[in-house]
Structure 1
Amino acid sequence: MVLFRRSLGDVLRRKRMELGMTLREVSAEARVSLGYISEIERGQKEASSELLASLCAALDVPLSLVLREASTAVAREEALAARTVLEVARPAPTGDVVASAA
């Protein structure tokens, strides 16, 4: 199962690291506890819309961009999972050759 909170946390962590910011810096700027931000980045906690807006402001990144990137990541994971299910469900070729005497 694909969890949106994991993808969202990955995007937030990547944005923070691209800016070279520490959790402590984001925590101070967003006025959110360092531990809670860490749990969000690891996909262990769901961020409320208000908290997410605060984190995006601290990272100086539009909320819409963060949500779009997380959504794209979820879509990729779903497609990969669906492809895997199809490959498992498809019978494997047996390698038998059938000759016809025509």
Structure 2
Amino acid sequence: MVLLRRVIGDALRARRQGQHRTLREVSTAANMSLGYLSEIERGQKEASSELLAAICDALGAQLSEVLREVADTMALAEQMQGVLVPVQDDAKSPAEEHSIRKVHAEGDVSVSVRQDTPLKATLRATRTPRPGDRGRDVIYAA
């Protein structure tokens, strides 16, 4: 299961990094502490709607745009049933452990999953750029 706060945090971090901005720059513009913004980006804290709006404003993004991106990622993750379950086969070689297990694409979003260890998988969501937009890779580890 992918946590909503992780997906939101990763979407915000991808936007900030895509603009080559630091946590300090964005936290100052959003009028919030650097540490709290960092926790939101890492999915450790859930931001209120007011804080999300302030962060989006600081990033020059529409809140609805960020939430739409998050919703697309969540929808794809939900469709990939059984992807993030532990692997029972201990006989796998190290090369096989790090292989991509499943790829799903829908519209301008594609998701791939790599099994890092028997209990850890990495979910990578990639959005194809729209006119005037940059593509983004967002990574989720579970």
Tell me the TM-score normalised to structure 2 length: 0.57
Q: How does 1:14-53 map to 2 (within 5 A)?
A: 14-53=14-53
Counterpart AA for 2:22: T
Identity %: 58
Q: How does 1:4-83 map to 2 (within 5 A)?
A: 4-81=4-81
Post-superposition Cα deviations, 1:54-101, rounded to whole Å, max 9, x if no partner, equal: 00000000000100001111111111125788xxxxxxxxxxxxxxxx
Are residues 84 and 32 of structure 1, via their aligned partners in 2, closer, same or farther at CA, if it must alter by over 3 Å? closer
Tell me the TM-score normalised to structure 1 length: 0.78
How many residues matched? 85
RMSD: 1.6
| Structure 1: gaps of 5 or more residues | 86-102
Which ranges of 4 or more aligned residues in structure 1 deviate by more than 6 Å?
none
Task: Write 1 or 2 for the structure with the bigger share of helix.
Answer: 1
Counterpart AA for 1:18: G
- The whole-number CA distance in structure 2 between the counterparts of 1:44 and 1:51 is 15
> Greater relative contact order: 1 or 2 (C-alpha under 8 angstroms, separation 6 or more)?
1
**Cα distance, 1:10 vs. partner?**
0.7
Bigger Rg, structure 1 or 2: 1
